């Protein structure tokens, strides 16, 4: 394991119930990251999406991908949220959902840097379950200093 939950919490400002990355298993600074989200029926969104057929909302799959992009971005520029920085999700292109994500699934989250320039990063992302594509997207994040 490259990063456990304690180190992930240093690189992401998110907290329960919005922290959607459980561990990072591979990270090459400036290039790529592989992480996991263990999907549990205890997630608060399953109460309403959908009570008799629980499915992880697609926007949260994209958010989980954006969070791994944030970790990769922070690691690449050697900054932390504690230093007063944040990565904002500012865009997504070519988002496609291929299979539902359900309780009990382990969501593998992958992001590869397409380019980074002046604090704006573009990533090619994939979310899979047991090797089967659940979602793919190009995600754009912006690094910003916050007061």
As separate numbers, helices (DSSP H) first and strands (DSSP E) second, the chain gives: 2, 6
63-100 burial, b if ≥16 CB within 10 A, otherwise e? Answer: ebbbbbbbbbbbbbbebebeeebbbebeebeebeeeee
Establish whether 49 is a catalytic residue.
Answer: yes
**Average of pLDDT values for 27-52?**
96
Q: Give me the catalytic one of 14, 49, 52, 53.
A: 49
Q: CATH second-level architecture of 5-145?
A: Roll (3.10)
What pTM was computed for the model? Answer: 0.97
- For residues 84 and 7, what is the distance between their CA atoms, to the nearest angstrom? 17
Q: Residue 9: how many CB atoms within 10 A of its CB?
A: 15
The pLDDT tens digits of the residues spanning 54-100 come to 999 999 999 999 999 999 999 999 999 999 999 999 999 999 999 99
- Residue 104 backbone class (left: φ over 0; alpha: ψ -120 to 50; beta: rest): left
Q: Using a pLDDT cut of 70, give the percent of the chain over it.
A: 100
Q: Which helix (H) or strand (E) holds 24?
A: strand 23-28
Instruction: Give me the pLDDT at residue 1, please.
Output: 74
Q: Is the pLDDT of residue 147 over 90?
A: no
Average pLDDT, the chain: 97
Tokens 């944030």 appear where?
70
- Sequence length of the chain is 147
Q: Is the pLDDT of residue 45 over 80?
A: yes
Instruction: Give me the pLDDT at residue 46, please.
Output: 96
């Amino acid at each position: 394991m490259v990063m456990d939950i304690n180190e992930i919490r240093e690189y992401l400002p998110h907290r329960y119930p919005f922290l959607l990355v459980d561990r990072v298993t591979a990270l090459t600074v400036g290039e790529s990251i592989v992480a996991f989200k263990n999907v549990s029926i205890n997630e608060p969104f399953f109460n309403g999406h959908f009570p008799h057929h629980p499915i992880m909302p697609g926007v949260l799959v994209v958010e989980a991908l954006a969070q791994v992009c944030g970790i990769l971005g922070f690691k690449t520029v050697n900054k932390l949220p504690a230093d007063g920085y944040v990565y904002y999700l500012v865009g997504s292109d070519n988002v496609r959902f291929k299979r539902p994500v359900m309780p009990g699934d382990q969501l593998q989250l992958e992001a590869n840097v397409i380019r980074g320039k002046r604090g704006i990063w573009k990533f090619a992302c994939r979310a899979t379950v047991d090797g089967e594509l659940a979602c793919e997207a190009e995600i754009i994040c912006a690094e910003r200093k916050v007061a």
